[in-house]
Structure formats: C-alpha cells, structure tokens
Amino acid sequence: MSFHSSSKGFTLLELMITVGVMLALTSIIGFNQSRYTSGAALKNLANNLGLSLRQAQVYGISVKEYSPGAAGGFSAGYGVEFDISSGGDNTSYIFFADRSPLNGRYDGNFTCPIGGASECLDKITMSGGNTVSKLCTIVDASGTESCNGITRLDISFVRPAIEAKISYNGGPADPSLKGARVELTSIDGKKNSVVVYVTGQISVR
C-alpha cells in the first residue's frame, strides 16, 4: 500500500507578492494617517487660538480685574500678540493685559516675564512643528489684505467698546483697519487661518 502526499504551500514567488502587497497597503495607511493627524492638530491649534482671542474679548469687555486690589485693576484691556520677527517667535504667541497706557499692544519682550509691571499673562507655545507663517491686516470692507512686511500683530479689547483694536509692527492701534488674519502652517505645509474683524467676529478657516 502506498501513500501519496497532496499537501500544498506557497511558492517563494507567491510569498514575495503577498508580502509586497501588505507592505504597500501598510505604507498607504500610515501615510494617510500621518496626514490626517497633522491636519487635525493644525485645526485644533487654530481653534485654540480662536479661543484665546475670544477669552481676551470676554475679559476686556466684561472688565476682568487685572490684579486683585491693584490700583486701576479694572481698567486693563486684554489681547493677544504675534511676533514672527527675529526678536519674536513664530512657534508661540502672548496673551497679555493692556495696562496703562491703553495703547492696544503688548509692551514687553517675547520672553514673557510674569508679575510686577509686566503685561504678559501667558506665553502659549505651539507643538508639532506648527508655526505662525503669515500676519495680515484687512484694509477694507471687501476683504483686501495687506501682508507684506507685517511681522508683529496685536489684537486687543477694552471696555466700553466691543470692537477689536488692531495694531501692527509696534505702531498704535489703527482705527481704519477692518480686521486681521493670522495664518498657521503645519510641518507638512497645511494651512489654517484665524480671522478677527473689528466688529468682534472671530472665525477659523
């Protein structure tokens, strides 16, 4: 009596093709996951920046006391500053209290000393390689922007006005401006923007 083996298996060529297909699928999934994660992180950053601006608006309009018991503690405005010049930092922004004089901008350096006469309340650092890539002002009602040469932007709010005060490059608040836009860029080149209009509207796009 004889027995014949009929067992079958993969040939080397079939195994190589199967492994190749699996590697290709894994690479595609990993690449798309990385792109999705980067885009989601940038969107979250834009939303958090919008919340910081909204917080400055609420503090400024609702008259938050700058320092308990301090003289003039209820007269401060609140705002956010961006500085992408060589003396600033394009990976962070400053949340500040606009104290006397109420000039609509942050009077301090980007190291953000806290306490004493400093206006800095917090320095928010962005993670994941995200940066502030462009600062623009909106110069008319049609949405025309001016971006060239703008390396510093201050957006603040102070009672009794509900409008945003916008200044750039260290100058005084410019009442002729209609708004401002902060462009954020991820490490892989994706872009999101936060737009603030003088009317107080804040949007992420």
136-173 pLDDT, tens per residue? 999 999 999 999 999 999 999 998 888 999 999 999 99
Q: What was the pLDDT predicted at 100?
A: 74
The torsion of the CA quartet 133, 91, 193, 56, rounded to 10 degrees, works out to -130
| Contact partners, residue 166, CB within 8 Å, separation at least 6 | 104, 137, 153, 154, 155, 173, 174, 177, 179, 180, 196, 198
Q: What was the pLDDT predicted at 143?
A: 94
| Contact partners, residue 46, CB within 8 Å, separation at least 6 | 184, 192, 193, 194, 204
Most confident listed range (1-5, 75-79, 135-139, 198-202): 135-139
- Does pLDDT of 115 surpass 80? yes
Beta-strand relationship, 120-125 and 77-83:
unpaired
Q: Which domains does the chain have, with CATH numbers?
A: 34-204 (3.55.40.10)
Q: Which residues of 71-101 are buried (b: 16+ CB within 10 A; e: fewer)?
A: eeeeebbbbbbbbbeeebbbebbbbbbbbee
Q: What was the pLDDT predicted at 30?
A: 62
The SS3 call for residue 33 is: helix
Average pLDDT over residues 42-55: 94
Q: What was the pLDDT predicted at 37?
A: 63
Its pTM stands at 0.80
Handedness of CA 124, 129, 130, 133 (dihedral sign): positive
* Percent of residues, the chain, with pLDDT higher than 90: 59
- Does pLDDT of 23 surpass 90? no
Q: What was the pLDDT predicted at 167?
A: 96
- Does pLDDT of 182 surpass 90? yes
- Does pLDDT of 192 surpass 90? yes
Helix (H) or strand (E) holding 63, with range, is: none
* Percent of residues, the chain, with pLDDT higher than 70: 85
* DSSP bridge partners of 93: 124
Q: What is the spatial distance between Cα 175 and Cα 165, in angstroms, rounded to a whole number?
A: 7
